[in-house]
Structure 1
Amino acid sequence: MNYYKKYYEKKNLSFEDYFSSLTHEDVKHVINKTTLNELDFLTLLSPAAEPFLEDMGQKAQQVTIQHFGKVMQLFAPLYISDHCVNQCLYCSYSINNDFPRKKLTLSEIEAEAKVIAETGIEHLLILTGESRLHASIDYLKESITILKKYFSSLSIELHPLKTEEYRELIQCGITGLTVYQEVYNEDIYKQIHVKGPKRNYSYRLDTPERGCKAGISKVNIGALLGMDDWRKEVFFTGIHAAYLKHKYAETEIGIGFPRMRPHLGDFQPKTNVTDKNLLQAMIAMRLFLPESDIILSTREQPELRDHLISMGVTKMSAASSTAVGGYVNKETSHSQFEISDERSVDKIKDMLHINDYQTR
């Protein structure tokens, strides 16, 4: 389903015209509402809402505690292969980037798992580059069989699969799926995905739904902020999440807000998404989808992460490595992107406990 075009056709919506029509009273009215519709969500993403971020943040805190309590789930990413068949302008793993590629053996995967588990992390996100040859279903199932001995939950972020393939991985022990659309603007999508299967916009857009149909428990989506106007991208992420949540009520839908980070290559994001923009995006999403997880990664600086945890965040990564084999061999340099928060799991837990959060 092309949510981007469908919503335009349904509402005949011009973002600029809508934003220019808003008043401060409109924003105040939305903040005081209990349940928000799609245009209320857009109102909270508008420039007119910027003077009310403190009010929105207080409401987001209340809503989050109401639905989740003061509990934060900590997770770690584990990259098991960086082989990729796609040419994407913004990604270090792009096939045109020349560096020694690596795929972990099963014994290397177990070694990585032991190091991560020793930090106290109980939830793991398994990642690969997008290559079916190097990350086959059989390889993934063998990897999952090893990893589930060390962690209470396993999620995946890899090349899009068919519904029946997701079912196979669920039977093996997977409970979560993360799929970032990268950008919902189809024209920009085609520009930055030059070659490879990932160039198929519609197939990627439908991937979260295939995961839901397969019966996966938790599905996380998002856009890589900076590729287009962040207000539009966050809006369509929210519309996509609301659609999945409505159609697949048994599936927990979460939203991530990754921003571009330095990577191998010289691609620069189209727009600069400031910390203030990110804050507005997250609290608007929390008020629009009060029961959905909001995920915050180590892409962001420690000070900002500490500030954002009370604004609706329910899951955050800790002590992450974005390099294949990067937990055992910390000198491994070929990471997918640079991280900003390098604190240990214990330090993250200490920060959360000081703020009266429980961790799980």
Structure 2
Amino acid sequence: MSFVDEINKYDPEQVRAGIAAKTVSDVERALSSERLRPDDFMALISPAAEGFLEAMAQKAHRLTRQRFGNTILLYAPLYISNECSNGCLYCGFNAHNRVPRRTLTLDEVERDARILHNLGFRHILLVTGEAPAKVGNDLLAAAARRIRPLFSSISIEVYPMEEAGYAQMVEAGVDGLTVYQETYDRALYSQLHPFGKKRDYDFRLLTPERAGAAGLRRIGIGFLQGLGDFRSDAFFTGLHALYLSRNFWRTQISVSFPRMRPAEGGFSPPSPVSDRSLVQLICAMRLLMPDAGLVLSTRESAALRDNLLPLGITQMSAGSCTAPGGYADGDRSTEQFAIDDDRTPAEVCALLRSRGYDPVWKDWDSAFLDRSAGC
């Protein structure tokens, strides 16, 4: 049974009503549980839990310390292209937006990659718009092979592929995937994606399963906060994370918490998510998924990222640029969205150490999978 079958068991209106109906007693019962059920998670993301944020934060902090110690994994995105054939209303790469389009050559990819390598990064995320006719599997595989000697882990955040495409990425040295469903609300999803292949809700929803079947070691999911009802989207994200952890137990599952940022096109988020609600979601997700990586990007301000650290965050981007070639050229006219935390990687590292955390540049090496090495 796929996650499409799983999610189809739920009526979105009933989910929203169920979350709204949770009581203080439901929250207290969830907080006392060692392992959360979906119904407990629903209580922790409900309005009734807003008075329990301190208790949730303390438990989330303890769990994170037990599972991850004081480590924070650092990574950086490298944008290869902003070409896109989709009409996502909220995205700066929307095919109708009149922005300069650029796709890096392999030499330009390597140039940006070497800058990030010299800054200390060993985990990198290759990002493109969704235009496989212009930036296809072969180019992505070639880019991964070109920069493979510089990084211990290469992940991708690109268009959804078939399982064979992900197998090609694995062969090229890619070990991770990030893919956001954007919103789990089918009706809203259809409104926000008027044209392009991304309009296919089910194909996107099944992307992590195809990637897991192909052998990718890391899979990250999430929803874009600000598009729809954040509580129901959080509930379905939690269900999705549980499903993936059960069915792909050899794969590390992570959850990101991206909030809408200003972008070309001037889209105004219909359902903004407050800082307090973001705190609630992070804590609730940690209690549901004690062993999952929780990711916070430079979409958020420096002050907020610093204050969210103790709540369960285990991975952070630093010194990010969302424009193709932006690290080498300094040109941000083609960026997907504006970042908020513009500190350098060195400044982020210094902050982490001052707060008692160990910044980790590398926690993996492909040699771990070299069966010829024996033991």
**Fold shared per TM-score above 0.5:** yes
1:12-161 paired onto structure 2 within 5 Å: 13-20=14-21, 22-161=22-161
Measure the CA separation in 2 of the matches of 1:48 and 1:245: 28
- The more displaced of 318-327 and 95-104 is 95-104
Structure 2 unaligned regions, length at least 5? 361-375
Q: Structure 1 CA distance, aligned partners of 2:159 and 2:19?
A: 37
The question of whether the paired residues in 2 share the 8 Å contact of 1:4 and 1:236 is answered with no
Task: Give deviations 1:76-101, integer Å, cap 9, x for gaps.
Answer: 00000111111110011111011221
Structure 2 SS opposite 1:97: coil
Match of 1:87, SS?
A: coil
Whichever residue aligns with residue 6 of structure 1, its letter is: N
Structure 1 residue 17: Cα displacement: 4.5
Supply the distance in 1 between the matched residues of 2:180 and 2:349 (Cα, whole angstroms). 27
Question: Which deviations, in whole Å up to 9, do the C-alpha atoms of 1:89-133 show, x marking residues without a partner?
Answer: 001111101122111011111110111111111110000110112
Q: Deviations over 1:279-314 (max 9, x none)?
A: 100100000011111000000000100011111111
* CA–CA separation in structure 2 for the residues paired with 1:130 and 1:18: 34
Asked whether the 8 Å contact 1:3–1:236 carries over to 2, the reply is no
Structure 1 residue 19 displacement after superposition: 2.6
SS at match of 2:10: helix
Alpha-carbon distance in structure 2 between the residues aligned to 1:3 and 1:278: 28
- Code of the residue aligned with 1:242 in structure 2: it is L
The answer to whether the 8 A contact 2:19-2:231 is kept is no
Aligned-pair CA distance for 1:354: 1.1
The Cα of 1:334 is off from its aligned counterpart by 1.7
Query: Aligned-pair distance for 1:28?
Result: 1.8
Q: Deviation per CA, 1:46-85, whole angstroms, max 9, x where unpaired?
A: 1110011011000000001111111110000000011111
User: Which residue is 2:269 aligned to?
Assistant: 269
- Note the C-alpha offset of 1:29: 2.1
- Number of aligned residue pairs: give it: 358
Whether 2:226 is the aligned partner of 1:221: answer no
2:101 is paired with a residue of what secondary structure?
coil
> Whole-Å Cα distance in 1 between the matches of residues 19 and 108 of structure 2?
53
Give the conservation status (yes or no) of the 8 Å contact 2:227–2:272.
no
Aligned residue type for 2:299: R
Aligned to 2:207: 207
Q: CA deviation at 1:15?
A: 2.7
Name 1:2's counterpart in structure 2. Answer: 4
**2:100–2:333 CA contact under 8 A, matched in 1:** no
TM-score (norm 1): 0.97
Contact 1:3 1:240 in 2 (8 A): no
**% identity of equivalent residues:** 41
Amino acid at match of 2:32: N
How much has 1:145 moved relative to structure 2?
1.0
Mark the CA change 1:245 to 1:257 in structure 2 (over 3 Å): closer, same or farther: same
Q: 1:187 to 1:4 in 2, by over 3 A?
A: farther
Q: CA RMSD in A?
A: 1.4
One-letter amino acid matched to 1:228: G
Which residue of 1 is the match for residue 365 of structure 2?
A: none
Q: Given that residues 76 and 125 in structure 1 are in contact (C-alpha distance below 8 angstroms), is that contact kept between their aligned partners in structure 2?
A: yes
Which amino acid letter does the alignment assign opposite residue 250 of structure 2?
E
Q: Name the CA distance, whole Å, in 2 between partners of 1:274 and 1:2.
A: 30
Report Cα offsets for 1:290-349 as digits up to 9, x if no partner. 111100000000010001111111111000000010000113322100000000101101
Retained in 2: the 8 A contact 1:4–1:184? no
Q: Which runs of 5+ in 1 are unaligned?
A: none
Q: CA–CA distance in 2 between the matches of 1:58 and 1:209?
A: 33
Q: How does 1:293-332 map to 2 (within 5 A)?
A: 293-332=293-332
TM-score by length of 2: 0.93
1:181 corresponding residue in structure 2? 181
- 1:181 match: secondary structure: coil
Q: 1:12 and 1:246 mapped to 2: Cα distance?
A: 26
Runs of 4 or more consecutive aligned structure 1 residues displaced over 4 Å after TM superposition: none
The SS at the match of 1:88 is coil
How far apart are the structure 2 equivalents of 1:173 and 1:267? 36
Question: Is the contact made by 2:321 and 2:332 (CA closer than 8 Å) also made in structure 1?
Answer: no
Deviation digits for residues 196-250 of structure 1 (CA, Å, limit 9, x no counterpart)? 1000000000001100110100100010011111001111001011111111111
